[in-house]
Structure 1
Amino acid sequence: MTIHYFDHAATTPMHPDVARAMLEVMQGPGGNSSSMHAFGRAAKLRLNRSRDVISAAIGCKPSELLFTSGGTESDNMAIIGAARAMRRRGRTHLITSAGEHHAVLHTCEWLAKEEGFTLTVLPVDPAGRTSPEQVRSAITSETALISIMHGNNEVGTLQPIVEIGSIARAAGVLFHVDAVQTLGWFDYRLREMPVDLMSFSSHKINGPQGVGALYAATGTPLDPLQHGGSQERKRRAGTENIAGIVGFAAAVDICVNERKKKQPFMDELRKRWIELLHDHAEVPLIMNGSEQEHLPHIVNISFIGVDTETMLMNLDMEGIAAASGSACTSGALERSHVLRAMGLPDEQIQSAVRFSFGLGNTMEELEDAARKIGLIVRRIRNNY
């Protein structure tokens, strides 16, 4: 059976060059970067070089980049750490949107329930966009932090983070951006952007799982969540994952070098996929998300009249990997909270499938996959 992996928004295959860089570390002599001997100094050198590569790629100082275990930890560190630090300044109000990843939404809700913060969850429009004016209206004298993602992981919609960040900065409010899905697609220059905190994850850009980073601009109030050693400038205790961090840096370096040719190809791949599905699916199709402001590699499509879970099960049997939404919640058989936040009709929500593309996908394989989907839709409609 030919396999088609169209779930790169969940996780991406590791790039061979990344694997080679990590293997060199794992097969070499061990070394703790906090140790003073030669093995420790060698590990520290790898750590520093990796931090230099990634910070240069996103346009910040190396000292402003903290390594974490992934996007969820980066989101938690940013939101909880900044909220607690700002509480000491009399700021106890948080703002986010209903379309955020649960790593942000659930963290904000936990702070409201367990630590007494007040929370405003802003609506999104039918395209999944957050209104900067609604952000402005929600800010009070007690607002500590605004957290709005850059690119949505379910529908690919891009948010106006520069405009929202400018509003936050003018009001003296910290601004956090979940950029887990957008790293590798944008030329970030964080030192020039009105962003105080930004979260990243390695495994969305063909790097290893279990590694991420948090950008924290110089001077940003941020309480550590982990205590122990003095790693990461005393902001995240614990021995660093040197092999994973080296792999992350290698993946970022590849992204920087390949972005200009990769992004146009993904745009064409996405466009062609939509055309092919219209040709083969034989049911009404609706694209969910923004038609103009979207990531190049994610497309969310409702196959009207075809249940999402039934569709995904049949896709899997035909060797096609897709998703119903976030990989963190799709296994729970929940309908997408993002699509509900967008106010879409039930028939659209209950038939939505996310396809996401990346390393290894080709124009040629789309033809075969679209033909299989046509057969699947006919099989489901005919109940056999």
Structure 2
Amino acid sequence: MKNYYFDHCASTPPYEQVIQTVSELMGLHYANSTALHRSGQEAAKLVERARASAAQSLGAKPEEVLFTSGGTESNNLALKGILFSGGRKAPRHLITTSIEHSSVYNTAKQLERFGIEVTFLPVDRTGRVSVADVEAAIRPNTQLVSVMHVNNETGVIQPIEEIAELLSGYPQIRFHVDGVQAVGKVPLKWGAKGIDLYSGSAHKFRGPKGVGFLLKREGIELEPLQEGGGQEDGFRGGTHNLPGIVGMSQALRLTMESMAGRRERMFALRRQLIEQTRSIPELLLNVPEEERLVSPQVVNLSYPGMRPEVLVHMLEGNGVFLSTQSACSSKSLKPSRVLLAMGMDADRASGSLRISFGDEHEAEDVDELVRRLKATVAKLKPLERSR
């Protein structure tokens, strides 16, 4: 039986070219990029070449690209780097949302324990935050607003351009956007005014794991999370992951060059999946159908009353690999915080399935996915707990 991987929001298969590049670099360029000898200087040149390539792919300047270990570090560096900068001050205020990825949401909770005031904004039934709510939450001591670009469970796009326009009138407030699920799926206008920090992670766009980036607008000061040898202009100490950095820049270039075709192809798959799952009445659609509101690569469905781990493992037995909630939260077995915030009850928020597409998927793959979903639901029906 053929297996089908529909969990690209959790992680993506690397490009073959990237696998080859990373392997070659591990064998050829193992010197430390801060070493003074020729091998070290060659490694340093490769790091800076990768930085220039990544910047070009993202529409940024090379000096605006900071390399990190991935999305979680980038988000932590953005939030803590801004809110801890400048030493001890009067209580500072962070505005974020109730549907952020755990690397932002849990960091905000941690910052509350450190004495930072945090406002968690609600979302509407489509999963979008209101720009008016952002404006209403601003206080004299507001230092940072952090809103994700694309939600990792639902694919809903947040109004970051409108929020950026609003915040351009508040020069004392920095705006961070978690773009981990958006890179290569939703256009980024980094040059537009208002966005100061933007996070990305290589393994979400067919690059290697353990490497990511934080775009930081020129002039923005950050308190480093880790002190070290002064790498990344002193904002992120630690030996450069040269194979990962170069592999990420290559994956980023390939991804951005093919974005238009990917969006068209994935929207077609999304429409097909939504239409075909209408024939499975037990499965309820949790996301807007209106395509201007969503990123194309993900569909979220619920089987109310069915435990999520049962759904996932039954589908795995049928050769289908997907997630419930986000990969970082799927083992908690709690109702989805995102779906609860969208106004869904605990049963619906608990029995959710996240189906996310990749470059390898075609229409016939969705046909087979729906066939196996139907077979799985038919087997689970007798086990359904009363609602």
* TM-score, normalization by structure 2: 0.95
CA-based RMSD of the aligned residues comes to 1.6
1:45 corresponds in structure 2 to 45
1:369 corresponds in structure 2 to 369
How many residue pairs get aligned? The number is 382
Deviation at residue 203 of structure 1 after TM alignment? 0.3
| Aligned counterparts of 1:377 and 1:306: Cα–Cα separation in 2 | 10
Is 1:301–1:353's contact at 8 Å kept on the other side of the alignment? yes
Matches within 5 A, 1:76-225: 76-85=76-85, 90=90, 92-113=92-113, 115-172=114-171, 173-225=173-225
- Structure 1 residues 284 and 364: CA distance shift in structure 2, 3 A: closer
Deviation at residue 306 of structure 1 after TM alignment? 3.8
Is 1:157–1:290's contact at 8 Å kept on the other side of the alignment? no
Deviation at residue 192 of structure 1 after TM alignment? 2.2
| Aligned counterparts of 1:87 and 1:181: Cα–Cα separation in 2 | 32
What is the letter of the counterpart of residue 232 of structure 1?
E
Deviation at residue 276 of structure 1 after TM alignment? 2.1
| Aligned counterparts of 1:310 and 1:267: Cα–Cα separation in 2 | 29
- Structure 1 residues 163 and 378: CA distance shift in structure 2, 3 A: same
Unaligned stretches of 5+ residues in structure 1: none
Deviation at residue 169 of structure 1 after TM alignment? 2.4
Is 1:99–1:338's contact at 8 Å kept on the other side of the alignment? yes
Deviation at residue 369 of structure 1 after TM alignment? 1.8
Between 84-93 and 298-307, report the one with greater CA deviation. Answer: 84-93
The percent of aligned pairs where both chains have the same amino acid is 37
| Aligned counterparts of 1:45 and 1:84: Cα–Cα separation in 2 | 32
Is 2:101–2:152's contact at 8 Å kept on the other side of the alignment? yes
Deviation at residue 278 of structure 1 after TM alignment? 2.0
| Aligned counterparts of 2:89 and 2:167: Cα–Cα separation in 1 | 17
Matches within 5 A, 1:264-283: 264-279=264-279, 281-283=280-282
1:5 corresponds in structure 2 to 5
Is 1:8–1:357's contact at 8 Å kept on the other side of the alignment? yes
Unaligned stretches of 5+ residues in structure 2: none
* TM-score, normalization by structure 1: 0.96
2:255 corresponds in structure 1 to 255
| Aligned counterparts of 1:305 and 1:78: Cα–Cα separation in 2 | 39
What is the letter of the counterpart of residue 326 of structure 1?
S
Between 296-305 and 211-220, report the one with greater CA deviation. Answer: 296-305
Offset from partner CA, 1:271-311 (integer Å, 9 cap, x none): 111222223x2425223356340010011012345443221
| Aligned counterparts of 1:284 and 1:41: Cα–Cα separation in 2 | 57
1:301 corresponds in structure 2 to 301
Is 2:29–2:43's contact at 8 Å kept on the other side of the alignment? no
Is 1:91–1:144's contact at 8 Å kept on the other side of the alignment? no
- Structure 1 residues 290 and 177: CA distance shift in structure 2, 3 A: farther
2:319 corresponds in structure 1 to 319
- Structure 1 residues 132 and 325: CA distance shift in structure 2, 3 A: same
What is the letter of the counterpart of residue 121 of structure 2?
L
- Structure 1 residues 228 and 87: CA distance shift in structure 2, 3 A: closer
- Structure 1 residues 101 and 29: CA distance shift in structure 2, 3 A: closer
- Structure 1 residues 287 and 338: CA distance shift in structure 2, 3 A: closer
Offset from partner CA, 1:168-210 (integer Å, 9 cap, x none): 2212210000000001123323122410111100000000000
Deviation at residue 383 of structure 1 after TM alignment? 3.9
Helix, strand or coil at the partner of 1:360: coil
